[in-house]
Amino acid sequence: MEVIILENADAVAQLGARRICELIKKKPNAVLGLATGSTQIAMYQHLIRLYRERQVSFRSVTSFNLDEYIGINPENPQSYRSFMKRELFDAIDIDRENTHLPACENNVNPRKAGSAYERQIAAAGGIDLQVLGIGSNGHIGFNEPTSSLVSRTRVKTLTETTVTDNSRLFKEGEFQPHLAMTMGIATILDARRAILLATGEQKAQAVKDAIEGPIAAMCPASALQLHERATFILDRAAASKLQNTAYYQWVHSENTPLVEKYGNFYEIDG
C-alpha cells in the first residue's frame, strides 16, 4: 500500500486527476472505475481543466461507476447517472455509450442485474484504475460495514450513518433512497490499480481503520490491504489519526528518486 499525505484537499484532488491522466496517456483506451461524492467533484474539476488544456482526451476511455441508487430513475437529478453527467461527462469528450453505471430497474431481478454488470466489466477487459472515496464508516462504493469481503455487484441497504451523511444533498421532504446497487469488494479488488482519495477530519477514523487496522468487514476499505497496487491519497486532516505518518512520508521521499528514474507503478504494464 502506498500512503501519500498532502497539504490540503486541493492537492489531493490534483494528484488524483494527474494519476488518471498518466494512465490515459499510456493507455488511451483505459477502463476507469469511477466514484461519486463531494471528494470526487474536486478531482473531476481538475480532470476537466486538464482536458480543456488538451493534456488528456477521454475519446477512447470506458468507465464503470461504483454504484447507483435504487428507487429513483436515471433522469432524476439525484441519481448518480445525473451526477456523473453534470460533474464530468458533459464537460469532456467521453463517448456516452462507453459510460456505465450499475442499474436495477423495477421488476428486474437484482441478482441478474449484478452479474450482468460484472460481465460487462469483464468484457471491457477489466478495470485498469478504480477511483474510490471512503465513507465516514469506512465504506467503499456502497459496501457498508459487514459487507462480505468477497462480495460482487449487488443490492445493499445503506446504513443510517450513510443516509445521514448524504442527507445534506437532499431537500427537506425529497425522497432519499436507502437502497443502492454497488460493485462488491471483490469487484473493486479485481481492478489492476486503485486510488482512494480522502479529505477532511470526518474521514480520519475510517482512514486509520482502513490503513492501520485489521482487515475487517466492519471497515470495508481495509480490504484494500489485500490489493497489490492501492494508493491512499490523503490531506493532513484525513491522515490526522494515523500512527505511522512519519514512515509514510519517509517512504514517499525515498520513492521520489526511484519514480523519477524508473517511473511510478502506474507505468508498469498489465
Name the residues that contact ligand F6R, by CB under 6 A: 35-39, 66-67, 133-135, 139-141
Nearer to ligand F6R, 57 or 120 (CB): 120
Least CB distance from residue 143 to ligand F6R, whole Å?
A: 8
- Backbone phi, then psi, for 50, in 5-degree steps? -65, -35
Nearer to ligand F6R, 94 or 140 (CB): 140
Q: Can you name the residues that pair with 26 across neighbouring β-strands? A: none
Least CB distance from residue 66 to ligand F6R, whole Å?
A: 4
Nearer to ligand F6R, 4 or 135 (CB): 135
Nearer to ligand F6R, 121 or 249 (CB): 121
DSSP SS3 for 206: helix
Transcribe 112-150 into DSSP letters. HHHHHHHHHHHHTT--SEEEE---TTS-BTTB-TT--TT
C-alpha 195/C-alpha 3 separation (Å) is 10
Nearer to ligand F6R, 23 or 34 (CB): 34
Least CB distance from residue 147 to ligand F6R, whole Å?
A: 11
Residue 108 DSSP class: S
Q: How many residues does the chain have?
A: 270
Least CB distance from residue 166 to ligand F6R, whole Å?
A: 7
Kindly give, in sequence order, each residue whose CB lies less than 8 Å from that of residue 37, ignoring residues fewer than 6 positions away: 133
Nearer to ligand F6R, 114 or 133 (CB): 133
Residue nearest to ligand F6R (CB): 133
Task: Tell me if 148 sits within 8 A of 184, measured CB to CB.
Answer: yes
C-alpha 95/C-alpha 107 separation (Å) is 29
Joined together, the cell numbers standing for residue 224 give 484494500
Q: Sort 124 into a burial class: Cβ within 10 Å, 0-12 / 13-18 / 19+.
A: middle
Least CB distance from residue 263 to ligand F6R, whole Å?
A: 28
Least CB distance from residue 135 to ligand F6R, whole Å?
A: 4
Residues with a catalytic annotation lie at 67, 137, 139, 144
Instruction: Show the CA angle centred on residue 90, arms to residues 87 and 94, nearest 5°.
Output: 110
